[in-house]
Amino acid sequence: MESEQSKGDRNRQNALIVDRGLAKSGTKVHGVNPALLIEKILRERIQDAHYWHLRASQLGFYEVLDECVESVVVVGTYVNAARTKACKFVVLLFRLLQFEVLPEDVVEWLVAGEHGFKYLSVLFMVYARLMWEDQAKLWTVLEARLDDFRRIRVVENGAVRLAHVDEIADSLLEEAKFVDMALPRLVNRWVLEEQGVLEERESALVDEFERELEDAES
Give pLDDT, residue 23: 47
Within-domain flag for 218 = no
pLDDT at residue number 200:
86
- Furthest-apart CA pair in the chain: how many Å? 88
For residue 17, what pLDDT is reported?
39
Distance from C-alpha of 218 to C-alpha of 134, rounded to nearest angstrom: 42
74, part of any domain: yes
| pLDDT at residue 26 in the model | 63
Task: Classify residue 23: in a domain, yes or no.
Answer: no
Structural domain tally of the chain? Answer: 1
47 falls within a domain: yes
Q: Can you say whether residue 186 is alpha, beta or left, with left for phi > 0 and alpha for psi between -120 and 50 degrees?
A: beta
Domain range holding 131? 33-186
Enumerate residue ranges in the chain where pLDDT < 50. 1-2, 6-18, 23-24
The whole-angstrom separation of Cα 92 and Cα 110 is 15
Q: With respect to residue 172, please indicate whether it lies within any of the assigned structural domains.
A: yes
Q: Which DSSP symbol is given to 201?
A: P
pLDDT, tens digit, 9 for 90 and up, residues 9-65: 444 333 333 455 554 456 899 999 999 999 999 999 999 999 999 999 999 999 999
At residue 199, the pLDDT reads 87
Measured from the Cβ of residue 131, the count of other Cβ atoms closer than 10 Å reads 20
Domain annotation covers residue 18:
no
Residue 27, pLDDT score: 81
Decide if 39 is inside a domain: yes
Task: Flag whether 44 is in a domain.
Answer: yes
User: Quick one: DSSP state of residue 81?
Assistant: T
Question: Which neighbouring-strand residues pair with 153?
Answer: 162
Angle at 46 between CA 42 and CA 48, to 5 degrees: 115
